[in-house]
Structure 1
Amino acid sequence: MSRLLYRLGKAAALRPWRFIAAWLVLIGVVAGLAGAAGGALHDNYTLSGTGSQRATDLLEERFPALSGADARVVVHAESGKVDQAALATASGELRKLPDVSAVDPPRPSADGATALMTVRYSVPVTELEPKPTLDLLRGATGNLDDAGYQVEFGGQVPENVTAPGGVAEAVGIVAALVILLLAFGSVVAAGLPLVVALAGLGAGVSGVTLLAAFTDVATTAPTLAIMVGLGVGIDYALFILTRHREGLAAGLDVPESVARANASAGLSVIFAGSTVLLALCGLVLSRVPVFMTMGFTTGLVVATTVLSAVTLLPAVLGLAGRRVLRRRDRAAGAKISVESPKVRRWAEHVGRHPWPWLLAAFTLMLALAAPALGMRTWPSDASSEPTSNTVRQAYDMVEDGYGAGANGPLLVAVDLTKTDRSALPGLSDRLAKTEGVTSVAPPQVSPKGDAAVIMVTPEYGPQDERVTGLVDRVRADALPPGAEVTGLTAVYTDLSRVLSDRLWPVIGAVVATSFIMLMIMFRSLLAPLKAAVMNLLSISAAYGVLTAVFQWGWGASLLGLPHSVPVSSFIVLLMFAVLFGVSMDYEVFLLSRIREEWQLHGDARASVSTGLAATGRVITSAALIMVVVFLGFAADPGLVIKQMGVGLAVAVALDATIVRLVLVPATMSLLGRANWWLPRPLARVLPDIDLHGGAAPAGTAEREREPSPA
């Protein structure tokens, strides 16, 4: 692979316009196809084998009028009561809207100041365009606005409307440019990683849109893919660029320097990207369609950024020539210091006193991870939205007028081919007597008489910790054969349990495959094992910080949240897969350089300090860029993306500081030569990867003539 990358890098540097033209054609073709034949985004929350899914399937088959999406129109009068004639007019207009199967009669609150109308659609929410559908709802209720009533919208359709993006991406790009400019002192060197990353990102995101024409792609998948792709894309280009600058400083000509950088750092990029892809593939084991689409769409964008780093970047580096260096460094014979003396001195200090620093860092990471022991995961709902949002105002109005449980009613679906219709009154009585139930509506029977639905209003809101017990009691004590429970609260309960049950298989698969990848690359058992343990430690610490910030509410108001919220059920599984892959990036680049020094001198401790010193500046810059990019997404209005941004930023910051500067030098100094131990049977089987494409890295000859450090 490294020899191929060496030849590829040299060819691109010698014939840059061919490669640049090929990329322009690729981006144009994919973007054109996406614009002409791309599909719409759809969330698929099918939970095969769960009670809520069986109930949903029964309703879709026998009671389609109640199986589709819903929207709630909440009308409130500041003084007096809501006029029934105005409600009737609005109800009639709502029935005329496309895909509307029924509009429930207006339900007044006890004081008459609030009225609730539920609009039922004949299709699931994934088949409706959220923004245009919400606009139609607003138009149909215009007479209520004209009459001076406050009209707000809740339910599945309004809650599926996402705010326009782009701000977080722009903030991340500007911040990355500033950081790169300060690190390299050259506008050309600062701009190239961004250009290359954006090219890969553009091709990947267009591919995601094209992919949506053939399969379901979650509505948050493109945002997640952009978040991860932008961060890793800039980093991958940055690592290759840095190695190229070292080659130029060592006296190599531009094509040879580009080729060697692509062969060495490019190989690390391939392996780092592969670990990210393998980690994302672990989401397939969740067997939840929305997670699977997030995995393969993000993987597609990561793959295109890797491809742009090893094909497009060498071309633009060849075109830029020596302009990637500072102007004062372009003079013949000028040397560039690629090492950080401060990092070297720090690494040597930690290496001489490994135990105190190891214990201190380990204690700090465990302290940060401790809040995760009390983490409560639960899907977000409208109560987590800002108070200015219509779905949040509708939520609060319903809670004030009808009670907290009215925002998350249970729907009991009864198969009347398995349960006699005469049993429905008794079922309603049992449901009404169940602890935690406020009211039970009369049963509704399907037109063919083969199914019935009973709406149960809980005492608790959808995010209340007691709703899980209520769902369990209803299922265990009240339901006859052929009856199941669905509705928002029941779906949330099943989703949380499914994701919790499938977390450990995903963790096992991701850790195992990443370990094997690193073992192949570094021909070692302990180095990959150490990397896996360090990553698990930093991920646990990120979970702990998320719990403190969101669930404990320590930073909720700063992030635009009205109050503390549970950690989203999506986050634990999704963040693990993304974080494990992203965190491995720094391990791959750092261990590659340490192994390089080890192979040159055979001094375990000195190789660690030299490797850290050589990569200190570039990894710090790369990590800082990632942290800024991810924190930019913490401003996203969507709670899942917000929590992902905070979690990823925290984990990367810990990886680049506590893990890289303390835990890595301490543990590798203690292990010594054992870092690179590999049993002979494995050594004979595993491939021996050439990191330099058949050519010694820049500066090797000079270093080999130096005496090995004591």
Structure 2
Amino acid sequence: MMSSLHRVGLATARHPWRTLAVWLVALVSLGGLAAAIGGELRDNWNVPDTRAQAGVDQLREHFPDSGGSSAQVVLHDDQRLDATVVEQVVAELHATEHVTTVTPRLSEDGDTALLYVRYDVPTTDSDIYGDIDPLEVAAAPAEAAGYQVELGGELPGTATEIEGRGELIGILVALALLVIAFGSVVAAGLPVATAVGGLVAGSSGVMLLAGLTDVSTSAPTIATMVGLGVGIDYALLIVTRHVERLRAGDTPVEAAARATATAGRSVVGAGLTVLVSLMGLRLAGLPTYDAFGFATAIAVVCVMAAALTLVPALCALAGRRLMPRKERKRAPGLGAGAPRTSTTDQEPLTARWARTVAKRPVAWALVALTVLLALGAPALGMRTWPQDGGTDPQGSTTRAAYDLVTEEFGPGANGPITLVADLEEVSRPEVKALHAEIAGLDDVASSGPVATSPDGRLAVWDIEPTTAPIDEQTTTFLEDLRAEVLPDGVEATGYTPILGDISELLGERLWLVVGFVVLVSVVLLAFMFRSVVVPLKAAAMNLLSIAAAYGVVTLVFQHGWGSSLLGVDHDIPVSSWVPILMFAVLFGLSMDYEVFLLSAIRDDWLDTGDAHGSVVRGLASTGRVISMAAAIMVAVFVGFATEPAVVVKMLGVGLAAAVALDATVVRMVLVPATMTLLGKWNWWLPGRGRVEELDDAPVQV
């Protein structure tokens, strides 16, 4: 592999302008193809093989105009509403395209009207998705009368947009950190420019993917979050190695080729582990996760390609300008990267730290393990639930509508449950008795009349729980309702049951995703490092850092530790979407740093046979770049935590916490401590003695 990467680096460095021209043509061509045959982003919110989805399918089959999206239009004033104005708004809503029914409901004091709007197409239909303009136009008479008008429910919830400041914050902070690290604006801008170039190509790839399958509207945000972080990191690793070779006296072209050969091997290995983790998302059982995995994989492949081809070309063009100004005047080989004496005072800080850990590996390992377990403990009490309007930021129309409905009609009005009875399995007298029984339950605030489908096959009615959709008591009520009250032939569906089934499904599938990703990653690392112990240990440590990240997310959002700083004004459960997505992304990202570090340690071990010394020297050579790469990635993820969408906030916080812990507690403490304890056993492989070199001929560096 190293020889192949050396040839790639040498070719692109020798012909930088040709390489840039090829990339420019590729970006323009991909953009043109995306515009010509690419599709539109479209969510698929079906939840296969769940009871709630079965109820929705029944409604769509037997009620031609049912089973579609819904919305709430809330009208409020300080005094009793004018019935004429309300009727006018109802009439305007009825005239709106795809609207089938509008059910008005007036509060007891008459100052609030809840207009429940149903559509004949699902929320994900391109005609209505994210478009609340027709609702606003229909509600214009109420606004003209001075009423407060708020929009809530399924359809208005899709109108929340990602503001894009996460990318901007991440890029600006990354540039500042890189300037400090390299002492050169050119060197700082190169990794960022490379990552952005790769993301541009990835964005076109995602749109081409959308022409073949449904791609969630949230998928590009996740892809950008991950692609930007790993893209800068991969480029940073190669640029760092390139600068080291310049200081050692190599020409810019040869330095770029050697950096691509050595650091590029780590980039390929790290990228493959990220891709393996992302493919695990397909096992989550939801079409949305397929889109997340494929879109993010496209972004990762593109930034990998940019790092392996654009970086050496740009490095060759930049020459010695990648070095700080004061070092450019020195003769090659006499810069900061020249050989050092062996005195402890002149050793890198990371080398001295590695020696400190190596002196007392058991104590340091226990300290690191204690920290990770303590942070991960809150995750044992994590409660997951898909988010609703009650978790939207204050000031948004969906949050205002949610709060008004809760205050005037009760929290359950935000998530009614639809009961669907198949009249071929349940008789009409049984339906009548069931309707009366459910209406009398303590957890039911109200029960609507029974309606029959046009073909006489279904009996349908709505009930409202006494608690909000997100409330744990609502989940318990739904479980008890299905298990103890509803007979065969009757299903509970609608907004709240669908959310509950999503939460249950993802909770069950998490362990399937974890098992697949861990197993394949261990096999991949065993092949890369010719060891059984190293990949098993790496997987265990990654699981510890991910568990700690889960604990941090639980503390921040479920227990409210600092959530107000993120614009979250009350405690909320962790979104059901987050754990699986966090795991797949984090396991791959954590392996990035593991591959960077272990590659250096293994190379030293192969050269010297010194198991303990290779740990110190490997950490010394990679500690600085890993710390800088982690700081940049943390900055990118923290930037995304400032977005208004709660799920994006959770992902930003969780990913930032995990990367920070992984680069400090795990890579700087737990890895050197355990590798020191294991010694030569780190590289044990059944049937072999000392680890053999890879088949590829090594490139002399």
Check whether TM > 0.5.
yes
The whole-number CA distance in structure 1 between the counterparts of 2:277 and 2:629 is 20
- State the alpha-carbon separation in 1 of the partners of residues 59 and 624 from structure 2: 59
Q: 1:388 aligns with which of 381, 385, 395?
A: 395
Deviation of 1:32 after TM superposition, in Å, equals: 2.2
SS at 1:569 equivalent:
coil
Q: Is residue 130–residue 158 contact of structure 1 (8 Å, CA) maintained in 2?
A: no
Distance 1:44 1:474, change over 3 A: same
CA distance in 1, matches of 2:376, 2:162: 34
Look up the SS of the partner of 1:456 in the other structure.
Answer: strand
Partners in 2 of 1:64 and 1:575 — Cα distance?
Answer: 39
Give SS of 2:643's match. coil
Q: How does 1:497-576 map to 2 (within 5 A)?
A: 497-576=504-583
Q: Is the 8 A contact 1:521 1:689 kept in 2?
A: no
In structure 1, what is the Cα distance between the partners aligned to 2:514 and 2:693?
26
**C-alpha distance in structure 1 between counterparts of 2:324 and 2:644, whole Å:** 40
Deviation at 1:167, TM superposition (A): 0.8
Q: Deviations over 1:543-583 (max 9, x none)?
A: 11111110001111111012011011111111001000001
Name the counterpart of 2:344.
none
Q: Is the deviation greater in 44-53 or in 364-373? A: 44-53
Aligned to 2:577, the other structure's residue is in SS state: helix
Q: Which residue of 1 aligns with 2:694?
A: 688
SS in 2 for 1:668: helix
Check whether the contact 1:175–1:628 (CA below 8 A) recurs between aligned residues.
Answer: yes
Task: Quote the Cα distance in structure 1 between the aligned partners of 2:130 and 2:194.
Answer: 36
**Alignment partners' CA distance in 1, 2:162 and 2:544:** 35
Aligned to 1:240: 238
Task: Indicate conservation of the 8 Å contact 1:435/1:470, yes or no.
Answer: no
- Deviation string for 1:451-503 (max 9, x for gaps)? 22110111111111111221122222332332211112111111111111111
Deviation of the 1:681 alpha carbon? 6.3
The aligned residue for residue 20 of structure 1 is: 20
Query: Take 1:143 and 1:46, find their aligned partners in 2: how far apart are those partners?
Result: 36
Structure 2 residue corresponding to 1:159, chosen from 146, 150, 157 = 157
Partner Cα distance (1:130, 1:651) in 2: 38
Q: Secondary structure at the match of 2:124?
A: helix
Structure 1 residue aligned with 2:663, among 640, 648, 656? Answer: 656
Across the two proteins, how many residue pairs are aligned to each other? 692
Contact 1:130 1:160 in 2 (8 A): no
Q: Structure 1 CA distance, aligned partners of 2:476 and 2:573?
A: 17
Partner AA of 1:115 in structure 2: A
Contact residue 284 and residue 292 of structure 1 kept, 8 A:
yes
SS of the aligned residue for 2:699 comes to: coil
SS of the residue 2:114 aligns to: strand
Mapping for residues 310-325 of structure 1, pairs under 5 Å: 310-325=308-323
Task: Give the corresponding residue for 1:94.
Answer: 93
Match of 1:642 among 644, 649, 661: 649
Q: Deviations over 1:390-443 (max 9, x none)?
A: 111111111111111111110011222333334331121121133411111001
Q: Is the 8 A contact 2:162 2:644 kept in 1?
A: no
Q: How does 1:7-156 map to 2 (within 5 A)?
A: 7-79=7-79, 81-104=80-103, 106-128=104-126, 133-156=131-154
Conserved in 1, the CA contact under 8 Å of 2:162 and 2:645? Answer: no
Instruction: State the 1:132 CA deviation.
Output: 6.3
Q: Assess, with a 3 A threshold, how the Cα gap between structure 1 residues 476 and 164 changes in structure 2: closer, same or farther.
A: closer
Distance in 1, Cα, partners of 2:494 & 2:689: 53
Pick which of 407-416 and 582-591 moved more: 407-416
Write out aligned runs for 1:102-501 (5 A).
102-104=101-103, 106-128=104-126, 133-330=131-328, 331-333=330-332, 334-337=334-337, 341-501=348-508
> What TM-score do you get using the length of structure 1 for normalisation?
0.95
C-alpha distance 91-325 of structure 1, shift in aligned 2 (>3 A): same
Tell me how far apart the structure 2 counterparts of residues 195 and 305 of structure 1 sit (CA, whole Å). 11
Partner amino acid, structure 1, of 2:674: T
Contact 1:523 1:683 in 2 (8 A): no
Cα distance in 2 for residues equivalent to 1:38 and 1:97: 30
Q: Deviations over 1:190-233 (max 9, x none)?
A: 11111110011111012112211221111211111100000000
- TM-score, reference length from structure 2: 0.96
Q: Distance in 2 between matches of 1:412 and 1:442?
A: 11
Q: Which runs of 5+ in 2 are unaligned?
A: 341-346
In the alignment, is the contact (CA less than 8 A) between 1:90 and 1:141 conserved in 2? yes
**Distance (whole Å) between structure 1 residues aligned to residue 356 and residue 689 of structure 2:** 34
1:354 and 1:670 in contact (8 A); partners too: yes
Q: Is residue 130–residue 156 contact of structure 2 (8 Å, CA) maintained in 1?
A: no
3-state SS, counterpart of residue 148 of structure 1: coil
Cα distance change of structure 1 residues 170 and 682 upon mapping to structure 2, 3 Å threshold: farther
Pick the aligned partner of 2:627 from 620, 641, 651. 620
Give 1:666's match in structure 2, choosing from 669, 673, 684.
673
* Secondary structure of residue in 2 paired with 1:153: strand
Q: Is the 8 A contact 2:683 2:690 kept in 1?
A: no
In 1, Cα distance between equivalents of 2:483 and 2:477: 10
1:64 alignment partner, SS class: coil
In structure 2, what residue type is equivalent to 1:289? P
- Is the Cα–Cα contact under 8 Å of residues 238 and 260 in structure 2 kept in the other structure? yes
Match of 1:705 in 2: none
Q: Where in structure 2 are the equivalents of 1:591-602 lying within 5 Å?
A: 591-602=598-609
SS at match of 1:554: coil
Match of 1:702 in 2: none
Q: Aligned partner of 1:553: which letter? A: G
Q: CA RMSD in A?
A: 1.7
Q: Residues of 1 paired with 2:185 and 2:296: CA distance?
A: 30
Instruction: Tell me which moved more, 669-678 or 246-255.
Output: 246-255
Question: Secondary structure in 2 aligned to 1:688?
Answer: coil
Counterparts of 1:163 and 1:206, CA distance in 2:
20
Structure-1 separation of matches of 2:350 and 2:409: 62
String of CA shifts for 1:27-50, please: whole Å, max 9, x gaps: 111122223433222222222221
For 2:694, give the aligned amino acid: D
Matching residue's letter, 1:15: H
Distance 1:665 1:299, change over 3 A: same
CA shift digits 1:67-125 (9 cap, x unpaired): 1001110111112x111111111111111212112222x11111111111111111100
Q: Give the stretch that moved more between structures: 375-384 or 95-104.
A: 95-104
Shift of 1:65: 2.2
* SS of structure 2 residue aligned to 1:78: coil
Matches of 1:16 and 1:440 in 2, distance apart? Answer: 71
Q: Which residue of 2 aligns with 1:590?
A: 597
Matched-pair contact (CA < 8 Å) for 2:68–2:122: yes
User: 1:136 Cα deviation (Å)?
Assistant: 1.3
CA distance in 2, matches of 1:476, 1:513: 38
Contact preservation (8 Å) 2:16, 2:317:
yes
Is 1:358–1:667's contact at 8 Å kept on the other side of the alignment? yes
* Alpha carbons of structure 1 residues 543 and 344: separation in structure 2 relative to 1, 3 Å: same
Aligned equivalents of 1:476, 1:544: Cα separation in 2: 32
506-515 vs 40-49, which deviates more? 40-49
- After superposition, the Cα gap between the structure-2 partners of 1:231 and 1:511, relative to the gap in structure 1 and judged at 3 Å, is same
Match for 2:49: what amino acid? G
